[in-house]
Structure 1
Amino acid sequence: MEHYSQAAAVPQGTSSQSNTGPLVIITILFFMWGALTALNDVLIPHLKAIYTLSYVQAMLVQFCFFGAYFIVSLPAGMLIRRIGYQMGAVTGLVIAAFGCAMFYPAAQAGYGLFLFAFFVLASGITILQVAANPYVTVLGDPRTASSRLTLTQAFNSLGTTLAPLVGGMLILNGAAFSADQLAAMTAAQQEAHRAQEAASVQGPYLALAGSLLLLAVLFAIARLPKLSGASESDTDSAQPFSALFKHKHLVLGTIGIFLYVGGEVSIGSFLINYLGEAHIAGLSHADAAVYVSYYWGGAMVGRFIGFAVMRTVSPGKALAFNALCSVLLILTAIFGSGHVAMWAIIAVGLCNSIMFPTIFSMALHGLGSQTGQASGLLCMAIVGGALVPFVQGAVADSSGLQVSFFVPVACYAFILYFGLKYANLHKQ
C-alpha cells in the first residue's frame, strides 16, 4: 500500500554532501513499514487459531492497527512541528520498536496485550511516515524527486511482498491442529500447545524491534537536510475545514480511499483462512502465507504496468477498469471453488496496484490552496483498513467466509462508480 504524508516540507539550505547514505536509510524505512503492515495477514489467522477467536475478534488486529492512523495522524503532525522531521522519524522508529518488543510479553499475557502492541506499533509507523516522507523529495535533484519516490514506494511494495513469505516460515511453521484434534487434548495439553504457538512470534518481533532501534540510531546520526513545515498560504489557513466538503469529487474520493484501503486490507486479512477452506485449496496456514505474498506482489508488478498504461489512458478510466476487474474476480472467488477461485482472489492484488495514488490524485484535483487540508482528510480515511475488515468478519461469522467477500465487492463497486463519474476529470 502506498503511503502519503500529511506534512509537506521544504529544505532549508543546501548541502554538497552525498545523499546516497540517507536515501538508503529512508528506503529501508519504506521497506520496513511495508513489511510490518503485511505481517498482520500472517498473524491474524495465527492468533485466531491460538485463542479460538471468531472472525470479528480476529479482525480487532486490523481495527487496532489502522485505527492508529486515524487517532495518531493529527497529533503526529503537531509533534513533528515541535521537534522537527529528523527527530520525529527517530521518535516514530523508537515507538514502533517498543510496539514490536511488546509482542514478547503479549505471547504470555494473552490477546489483549497483542492488540495494544499492534496499536503502539502502528502509532510509531504513523509518526514515521509523516516525518520521513518529505525527505524523499529533498535528497537530491528536485527534477528526479518523482523517480526517488517511485523507488522508495517500490521497496515499500517489496516489504509487503516478502513479509508474508518470511513470516509464514518463521511464525507458522509449528504443528497445526484441527478443532477436533484440539478438542481431544486435555486442558493442560491445549494450554501447552497455545503457549508454544504464541511464543513463535517472540523471536521474529524481537528481531524487528532490534532492527528498528538500529535504524533509529542511524537516522539520528545521519546528516540530513534541515526541513521545516511548508507554510500554508493565507488563503489555505483562512479556509475553514468545512469548506472542503463543498468539493464533491473530494468527498467521494475520501470515501473511495476509505473503501479501497478497507477492501485491500480485508482481502489480505482473510486470505490465509480462505485458502485453507477444503473446497478452495485446503492449504495449511504456512503454505497459504506464500500466496499472500503473491497477492501483495501483484500490486507491485501492477504499478509498472499502470505507469505505462496511464500515459495514454485517463486515470478515471484506468481506475474504473481495475475496479471492475476486481469485482469480477472477487465474485469468481465467492461463487467458484478450487484453483479458479484461489487465483481469482489472489489476482485482485494486481488490480489494486494503481488505485490508492489514482483515487488520491483525482480527489485533490483542482483544489489549489486547500490541497494541504484535503490531503490530511484523505490520510485519515485510511481508517477504512480498521473498519471494513471488522464488517467482513461479522459477515463471515454469521453467513460464512466465502459469502463475506461480498463486503470488498461493495467497496470496489463504489470505486468503479467513482472512476466512471470522473473519467474525464483531468480534461476539465
Structure 2
Amino acid sequence: MTETNKNGKVIAIVTMCFIFAMISFVTNMGAPFGNIWGFEYPFAKAWGNLMNFAAYLFMGIPAGKMLTKYGYKKTALIALIVGIVGLCFQYLSSLVGAGTYVFTYDSIPVALNLVIYLLGAFICGFCVCMLNTVVNPMLNLLGGGGNKGNQLIQVGGTLNSLTGTLTPLLAGWLVGTVTADTSMSDVAPLLFIGIAVFAISFVIISRVTIPEPTLGKVAPKYERSPLAFRHCVLGVIAIFFYVGIEIGIPMELNFYVTDLGFEGAAAIGGTLAAAYWLLMMIGRACSSAISGKVSTKLQLSTVSAVAILLLVIAIFMPEDVTISFNGHDVPAKAFLIPACGLCTSIMWGGIFNLSVEGLGKYTEAASGIFMTMVVGGGVMPLLQEAIAKSAGPIFSYWLVIAMLAYILFYALVGCKNVNQDIKVD
C-alpha cells in the first residue's frame, strides 16, 4: 500500500469517527428535553425520543439504497443538512406556538410548539439514521471486517459516547430544576452547538476523500436477501432490543431522579445520565484496545450477563439506602444503574459485527435493515415509560433485563452463521 493510500485511509477513519460522535450528540437530546415538555405534558416525556427513532423505520432501507446510488460521502453531506433543519425546528418551538392549541390528548390541550418540537425531532431522526448507515459499514470495511472491524467501530463508539455524555450534562446544567417556567429557550445554547457542529462537519467532510466501495460499480445481483441468513435475522432483532436498552436505561434514570423533586434534581439526573454515557465511552475505549485479541462473541456474552446482574441488584436494593450527593440524599440504586454503561458500550458494534460477518455483497443491504430496526430506541423506551407510570420507574428495568437476556442468547447461540452455503460474492 502506498503512503498516499495509507494517509487516505487514516483520514477516512478519522472522518467516520467524527460523524459517529455527532450521532449521539443529537440523539441524546431526547431525554433531557423530555423532562422539559413532560412538566406541562406528562404523557409526552418520551415522545421526542420516539419521534427521533421512528424516523429510522421510514429511512433505514432508503438510507441503505442511498449508499449504493450516491456513495458514502454524499449521503453523509445530505444527512448533515437534514440535521441542521431538524435542530432549527426544535429551536423554533421555543419561539412560536405556545398559546395556539391544536388538539387534546388525555384531556390536556396540546399547543403548536410541542408539535413543532416533535417534527424537529423526527427530522433529526432522518439525519442520524443516514449517518449511522454510513458510519458502521465503512468502519467495518476500513478495518477489514472481523475483530479488527469491530475494533474500529468501538473507537468510533468511544467518541460517540463522549458527545453522548456532554448532552444530558449540559442540559442539566442549563435547566437546573424543571419548573413551570422552564422551556426550550433554556436549552437553546445546546441546539446552537448542534447546528454549529453539523455545519463544521459539513465543511470538513466535503473536503476529504472517502473510499466509495460501491459507487460507480455495477450493482451486485442479489439472488437472496440478507434475511436469508439466520444470524442476520436474529441480529436485527438484537439491534432492535439493544437500542431500546441503550436509550431506556439513562432516560428512565433521568426521569426517576428528576421526579424526586428536590432543588437541583434535574441537574443531578442529567449528571447521572451523563455518567452512564461516560462509562460507555470508557467501555468502548477498553474494547477498542482488546478487540484485536478478544473475540466479539466473548465480549458480548460477558457484558450482557454483567448488565443483567447490575440491574437485578438495583431493583432489589431498598430505596432508603442512599448516597449524599450535592447536599441531597439520592437512592444508591441511582448510582448503580449508570454502571450498565460499561456493558452496553460494546453491544452496538458487537451485534453489528457478528450480524454482518460472512454476508459479503449483502452487507450494505443488511445495514439498511439494521437502521430500520433502530426504531427500537423509540418503541421500547416508550413501553418502559408506560411500565414506569403504572408500576414504578425501577420496576420498569425488568423489561431491560428481558432484552439483555435475548442479547446474551444471541452472543452465545444466535450469532452462528448456519447459512454458509449461500453465495455472497
* Same-fold status (TM-score > 0.5): yes
> Does residue 1:204 correspond to 2:159, yes or no?
no
Give 2:369's aligned residue. Answer: 377
> Which residue of the other structure, out of 230, 236, 243, is the alignment partner of 1:254?
236
**Structure 1 length as normaliser, TM-score?**
0.78
Cα distance, 1:423 vs. partner? 8.3
Is the contact made by 1:38 and 1:163 (CA closer than 8 Å) also made in structure 2?
A: yes
Is the contact made by 1:30 and 1:156 (CA closer than 8 Å) also made in structure 2?
A: yes
Cα distance, 1:248 vs. partner? 3.1
| Structure 2 CA distance for aligned equivalents of residues 315 and 138 of structure 1 | 16
| Structure 2 CA distance for aligned equivalents of residues 368 and 82 of structure 1 | 18
Q: 1:216 to 1:156 in 2, by over 3 A?
A: same
Is the contact made by 1:42 and 1:168 (CA closer than 8 Å) also made in structure 2?
A: yes
Q: Percent identity?
A: 25
Q: 1:425 to 1:305 in 2, by over 3 A?
A: farther
> Which residue of the other structure, out of 333, 348, 372, is the alignment partner of 2:314?
333
Is the contact made by 1:295 and 1:347 (CA closer than 8 Å) also made in structure 2?
A: yes
Relative to its length, the structure with more helix (as a share) is 1
> Which residue of the other structure, out of 292, 307, 325, is the alignment partner of 2:273?
292
| Structure 2 CA distance for aligned equivalents of residues 252 and 375 of structure 1 | 14
> Which residue of the other structure, out of 85, 99, 120, is the alignment partner of 1:98?
85
Cα distance, 1:399 vs. partner? 1.8
Is the contact made by 1:263 and 1:385 (CA closer than 8 Å) also made in structure 2?
A: yes
Is the contact made by 1:303 and 1:354 (CA closer than 8 Å) also made in structure 2?
A: yes
> Does residue 1:65 correspond to 2:52, yes or no?
yes
Cα distance, 1:151 vs. partner? 4.0
CA RMSD between the two structures: 3.6
Q: What are the ranges of 5 or more consecutive residues in structure 2 without an aligned counterpart?
A: 98-112, 324-331, 421-425
Cα distance, 1:103 vs. partner? 1.6
Cα distance, 1:120 vs. partner? 0.6
> Which residue of the other structure, out of 192, 195, 203, is the alignment partner of 1:217?
203
| Structure 1 CA distance for aligned equivalents of residues 223 and 205 of structure 2 | 36
Is the contact made by 2:139 and 2:153 (CA closer than 8 Å) also made in structure 1?
A: yes
Q: 1:282 to 1:391 in 2, by over 3 A?
A: farther
| Structure 2 CA distance for aligned equivalents of residues 313 and 145 of structure 1 | 13
Aligned residues: 387
Deviations 1:242-269 (A, max 9, x none): x724x33332222111111111111121
> Which residue of the other structure, out of 134, 154, 168, is the alignment partner of 2:158?
154
Give 1:44's aligned residue. Answer: 34
Is the contact made by 2:315 and 2:394 (CA closer than 8 Å) also made in structure 1?
A: yes
Structure 1 residues 23-32 or 289-298, which shifts more? 23-32
Structure 1 residues 294-303 or 69-78, which shifts more? 69-78
| Structure 2 CA distance for aligned equivalents of residues 275 and 17 of structure 1 | 47
| Structure 2 CA distance for aligned equivalents of residues 411 and 146 of structure 1 | 22
Give 2:130's aligned residue. Answer: 127
Cα distance, 1:139 vs. partner? 8.7
| Structure 2 CA distance for aligned equivalents of residues 385 and 58 of structure 1 | 14
Tell me the amino acid that sits aligned with residue 29 of structure 1.
I
SS in 2 for 1:200: helix
Is the contact made by 2:169 and 2:271 (CA closer than 8 Å) also made in structure 1?
A: yes
Deviations 1:334-360 (A, max 9, x none): 222334312221111111122222222
Is the contact made by 1:334 and 1:405 (CA closer than 8 Å) also made in structure 2?
A: yes
Is the contact made by 1:33 and 1:125 (CA closer than 8 Å) also made in structure 2?
A: yes
Give 1:167's aligned residue. Answer: 171
Tell me the amino acid that sits aligned with residue 157 of structure 2.
Q
Is the contact made by 1:91 and 1:128 (CA closer than 8 Å) also made in structure 2?
A: no
Give 2:347's aligned residue. Answer: 355
Is the contact made by 2:62 and 2:368 (CA closer than 8 Å) also made in structure 1?
A: no
Tell me the amino acid that sits aligned with residue 41 of structure 2.
T
SS in 1 for 2:200: helix
Q: 1:227 to 1:389 in 2, by over 3 A?
A: same
| Structure 2 CA distance for aligned equivalents of residues 25 and 308 of structure 1 | 20
Give 2:103's aligned residue. Answer: none
SS in 1 for 2:337: helix
Alignment of 1:228-267 (within 5 A): 229=214, 237-239=222-224, 241=225, 244-245=227-228, 247-267=229-249
SS in 2 for 1:237: coil
| Structure 2 CA distance for aligned equivalents of residues 366 and 372 of structure 1 | 12
Q: 1:29 to 1:249 in 2, by over 3 A?
A: closer
Q: What are the ranges of 5 or more consecutive residues in structure 1 without an aligned counterpart?
A: 1-13, 178-189
**Structure 2 length as normaliser, TM-score?**
0.78
Cα distance, 1:129 vs. partner? 3.6
Q: 1:219 to 1:388 in 2, by over 3 A?
A: same
Is the contact made by 2:235 and 2:415 (CA closer than 8 Å) also made in structure 1?
A: no
Deviations 1:129-148 (A, max 9, x none): 43466766899999x98876
Deviations 1:76-124 (A, max 9, x none): 2334544443333222111101111112221232211111100111212
> Does residue 1:324 correspond to 2:305, yes or no?
yes
Is the contact made by 1:168 and 1:285 (CA closer than 8 Å) also made in structure 2?
A: yes
Is the contact made by 1:35 and 1:159 (CA closer than 8 Å) also made in structure 2?
A: yes
